[in-house]
Structure 1
Amino acid sequence: MPLHSASPLYAAAELRAYEHRTNHAFVQAASSAHEAAEIARCEGDMDAWWNMTFVQAENLLDAEEFEACAALASDLVGGPQSTMEPQARALTYILVAKARQGAGLLEEAADAARAASLLVMDDDDVEIHVKARQALIAALADSGRLDEAWEECLGLAEVVSAEVDDQLIGKVYWVIGNVAFLCNKVQEGLEYHELAAATFSPARNLDVWAKFNKASAAMRLAADVADADTLRCIERAELATDVIGGSANDYLLMKLNRGHWSFLAGDSQTAVELLQAVCADADATLPQILGEARLLLGRAFSASGNPDAARENLLLAVDHFEASGAQQRADQVREYLTAEA
């Protein structure tokens, strides 16, 4: 819903921003939000300017314009309106954290998420506190700091209560399940993802349903769980994304899941074809995704009796993981290389 209405020009630009967002046209939504913010600034309404600049940053994040989102959200935190309420500052730091994580700057993402968490630690707004802790856990997990991430998960599980919206509770179970998988607590990971699945509904939010099934499939596959439930996750994500559309990264991640599934199913040739397609445009693909794809390619080539191609791809995986700040994943690939030598 529109947050404010100061003039017909402002109201029209604000309405366009929300309409575009509803239609998942995030680039256009960001542009309209920027237009509304500029109108508000010219009219001297800095509260409306701040609100619409925040909406602009949200849409830049959803459009995967990570650097632009982080820069804009950082300006909001440190700019002339930086004396905002702690809840608003926390939400802005969460945007910075998500954008930095999307750009592969995992240490900076963790710092921003921790700043958000500290701002609302003693606050009554449980929902913002949960969102801040989620962002921190995701950044810590992606950077390989799994002990810290799991400790945060245990703290987050204690915060969840009846005050929190079902969809947010589902996201909490989702992120805790992710970390459980990464910590090789496979049964706990499966249990938390089952709890998450029970809270999500394609009728209520098809976008969240698609993203959860895509991510759950990836975690199951990483734990070598290639059962019927994993295949259902893959198929649900593909079907939902076909209906609502998705970003370039969404489609790459689904292709990565299919490649991983094919590899675990023993079809190395299909896996190689799918994974090479993921790596085809390295300049436009996030280093974390490239690292996972190159690691799987190395394993697929090794399984198909091509040790030279396997080693080449594993070395590239190390480079990509290091570029994204995922040092633990880089070290795991080095261990795999040593074992294969």
Structure 2
Amino acid sequence: MPLHSVSPLYAAAELRAYEHRTNHAFAPAAQSAHEAAEIARSEGDMEAWWNMTFVQAENLLDAEEFAACAALASELVDGPHSAVEPQAKALTYILVAKARQGAGLLEEAADAARAAAQLVTDDDDIEIQVKARQALIAVLADSGRLDDAWAECLELAEVVSTEVDDQLIGKVYWVIGNVAFLCNKVQEGLKYHELAATTFSPARNLDVWAKFNKASAAMRLAAEVADTDTLRCIERAELATDVIGGSSNDYLLMKLNRAHWNLLAGDAGAAIELLDQICADPDKPSPQIIGEACLLLGRAQSAIGNLDAARASLLLAVEYFESSGAQQRADQAREYISAEA
């Protein structure tokens, strides 16, 4: 539909969707995008319907409605009005990958990320290539396939060029640093996260700044790097999220970071208090998050000599990790159980 023939009803719904998204009100943004899509469908504009349904799926992902996002994005890829442009299909597969990862369906997420990467191979699609590979690396790392993830990282590093936006380059360094930490390449992890930090600015994008500092703190803590830089990452993430708000998972991950910091600093009691809060409602977090919380809780309980409780927590960690396909993390939880035997 040409721009001049867009109806006032459609234009108003579209505007509401973008306004809500700007304000991080993702659930209302998804609803407004759905309304705009239905108006476009009723007016026979299937291109506008597709575009606004994609926006709806994006907002469902950010609202952590993972099952709904995956179902809707899959409909866009495979439905009767699926896009013919490979770039649009690739971006939609990336949404599917992220949603399935959030739901703990790691193998399905990897399949979707690979499908996205295979759709865009030209130099003109460099940014979409990077996003697809990022999604694949995140899933491979989450599922413990670290050798595969690192091999993808090395390929991704070669793909990045000066033509890519600084924020996207920063996200590339970020994900490579994450995998380096997971592979116990701590110095390389620190190097890539420092490179990422130079590209991000709280003035340019406070949301990305908050998420990066939260994730960098988590990776540093996992590598048992409990220095002043790690504490600074925790504090930056907390401060930025207080300003802009965040999802329930954002707050849980920050609480997990604080608990991990307390444990490494020798305050197991404070760590247990925070971890009990996370584990109190296991239906809310993703299986990966609750698994990490149970693993840390078991370590903290062991530190204060409560070995029976520690074993129970570690067994729960194994269960949650296995349910999401994170076999390597499940094996690590079992190692802690064996150490306590």
Same structural fold, with TM-score higher than 0.5 when normalized by the shorter chain: yes
Contact 2:76 2:83 (C-alpha < 8 Å) held by counterparts = no
Contact 2:213 2:236 (C-alpha < 8 Å) held by counterparts = yes
Distance 1:332 1:297 in 2: 14
Distance 1:83 1:39 in 2: 19
Aligned to 1:54: 54
Residue aligned with 1:281, SS: coil
Aligned to 1:79: 79
Distance 1:251 1:21 in 2: 19
**CA RMSD, Structure 1 to Structure 2 (Å):** 1.1
TM-score norm. by structure 2 comes to: 0.98
Contact 2:288 2:320 (C-alpha < 8 Å) held by counterparts = yes
Cα shift at 1:335: 1.8
Distance 1:114 1:4 in 2: 39
Aligned to 1:247: 247
Cα shift at 1:317: 0.5
2:162 matches 1:162: yes
Aligned to 1:267: 267
Stretch deviating more after TM superposition (134-143 or 279-288): 279-288
Aligned to 1:326: 326
Cα shift at 1:82: 2.1
Distance 2:181 2:4 in 1: 43
Cα deviation 1:264-294 (Å, max 9, x = unaligned): 0000110110111111101112111111111
Distance 1:310 1:181 in 2: 26
Aligned to 1:276: 276
Distance 1:58 1:273 in 2: 35
Cα deviation 1:162-182 (Å, max 9, x = unaligned): 110000000000000000000
Distance 1:116 1:317 in 2: 31
Contact 1:275 1:297 (C-alpha < 8 Å) held by counterparts = yes
Distance 1:159 1:255 in 2: 35
Aligned to 2:256: 256
Cα shift at 1:339: 2.1
Contact 1:33 1:56 (C-alpha < 8 Å) held by counterparts = yes
Cα deviation 1:85-123 (Å, max 9, x = unaligned): 000000000000000011111111100000000000235
Residue aligned with 2:283, SS: helix
Distance 2:337 2:19 in 1: 50
Residue aligned with 1:217, SS: helix
User: Which residues in structure 2 correspond to 1:12-91 (within 5 Å)?
Assistant: 12-91=12-91
Contact 1:181 1:219 (C-alpha < 8 Å) held by counterparts = yes
Stretches of structure 2 that go unaligned for 5 or more consecutive residues are none
Cα shift at 1:59: 0.4
Q: Indicate how the Cα distance of structure 1 residues 326 and 5 shifts in structure 2: closer, same or farther if over 3 A, else same.
A: farther
Q: Indicate how the Cα distance of structure 1 residues 4 and 182 shifts in structure 2: closer, same or farther if over 3 A, else same.
A: farther
User: How many residues of Structure 1 are paired with residues of Structure 2 in the alignment?
Assistant: 339
Distance 2:239 2:4 in 1: 37
Residue aligned with 2:234, SS: helix
Contact 1:4 1:48 (C-alpha < 8 Å) held by counterparts = no
Q: Indicate how the Cα distance of structure 1 residues 13 and 301 shifts in structure 2: closer, same or farther if over 3 A, else same.
A: same
Contact 2:106 2:324 (C-alpha < 8 Å) held by counterparts = yes
Aligned to 2:214: 214
Stretch deviating more after TM superposition (276-285 or 240-249): 276-285
Q: Indicate how the Cα distance of structure 1 residues 292 and 5 shifts in structure 2: closer, same or farther if over 3 A, else same.
A: farther
Distance 1:249 1:336 in 2: 26
Stretches of structure 1 that go unaligned for 5 or more consecutive residues are none
2:188 is aligned with what amino acid? E
Residue aligned with 1:284, SS: coil
Cα deviation 1:213-243 (Å, max 9, x = unaligned): 0000000000000000000000000000000
Aligned to 1:204: 204
Distance 2:46 2:95 in 1: 20
Contact 1:5 1:11 (C-alpha < 8 Å) held by counterparts = no
Contact 1:27 1:63 (C-alpha < 8 Å) held by counterparts = yes
